[in-house]
Amino acid sequence: MKKLATILFFFVLLSPAMAQQKAQYSQYLFNNFLLNPALSGIESYTDVRMGTRRQWVGVEGAPVTYYVSGHSSFGMSDRNSPTGPGAGKGYISRRPSKNPSSTKFHKSRPHHGFGAIAQVDKTGPLSTTNLNLTYAYHHPISRKVNMSVGLAGGLVQSRLNGNAIQMVNGNDPLLRPTTMSRTNFDLGLGTWIYSDYFYVGASASQLLTTQVSQPEGGRTPEQKLQPHYFLTGGYRIRVRYDLSFEPSVMLKLASPSPLSVDVNFKATYADRFWAGMSYRHEDAVAAIAGVNVNHFLDFGYSYDLTTSGLNAASAGSHEFIVGIKLRNKARMLCPEWLW
């Protein structure tokens, strides 16, 4: 059964007609930059994040993903310190004060953002490496609402270890007992509209199919990039000055795969602790939690309980993320625009 699962994973990921190619995340809530280049430089500090996801534990050859991302703003002056809780206590809190009259909206200054993402995704004999550079321009469109547009460009390399595949027909001309690889250019676009209390974004990735290199000699399996489209939105509901609820939703389309829908609900307390649930239609239910340790470090963890047909063989999925805030001169405890 485990050998069969490995072979199935290989065919599912190699064929764009059967499944989505890009890695799947449950904690994209804390790093939407992975999905949308328009978030480059959205905060006043340099945001560096490292994460790993082990999917469908117990199934041989199941996806394992590692990534590191970072982005920073240029041309953005440090914002004024707020009058809310946390001011003067060694860190900055962006939640409103107990006195509503002391809370005022503010807008992001026009500025540029640059970033980079490196990601490795391994599924059975197939591994994919993504390297992308990003750019975004941010500009206020009203006193309370800001907008950014972004661009991502880079390379996607897919490698297939033929020695790790056991086929009934060992003489299949498409599969050789060697490592086969193919590299493609990658292009992504995105936009993000955001304020203190809502965000909505749209993005697309893997828009190019131009081939950079291919294996030498003989016939090889086709492996074309499959365009992915994302639509994301969230809203922040202040229950009281130190507690907020943040429902959000994401729609993902990678035709001809079916539409994927994520519905999320998260609560944040004192800008330091968060916890919530996420539902991915016909796939999984996830529990998420995390903590902002200080103005420099934060952690997040999620566990996915599989609800698809793989639940009989899978012990669920685990995802862990570490965030580091560099050049955080304002000593921000919680991200201002990404909550």
Phi, psi of 40 (to 5 degrees): -55, 125
* Domains recognised in the chain with CATH numbers: 22-77+108-163+178-209+224-326 (2.40.160.60)
Interatomic CA distance for residues 294 and 275, integer angstroms: 17
Interatomic CA distance for residues 102 and 200, integer angstroms: 27
pLDDT of residue 159: 87
pLDDT of residue 120: 95
* The two three-digit tokens of residue 206, written as one number: 């893997």
Residues of the chain with pLDDT under 50: 1-19, 78-89, 100-104, 216-218
* The two three-digit tokens of residue 146, written as one number: 């800001």
pLDDT of residue 4: 40
pLDDT of residue 66: 96
CB count within 10 Å of CB 105 equals: 11
pLDDT of residue 124: 85
What is the phi-psi region of residue 117: left when phi exceeds 0, alpha when psi lies from -120 to 50, beta otherwise?
A: beta
Q: Which of 338, 323, 242, 288 is nearest to 69 (CA)?
A: 323
* The two three-digit tokens of residue 127, written as one number: 């591994």
Interatomic CA distance for residues 215 and 36, integer angstroms: 31
The strand pairing partners of 235, in sequence order, are: 198
Contact status, residue 71 vs residue 14, Cβ threshold 8 Å: no
Query: What is the separation, in whole angstroms, between the first and last Cα of the chain?
Result: 42
Helix spans in the chain (H): 2-14
Element (H, E) at 49: strand 46-54
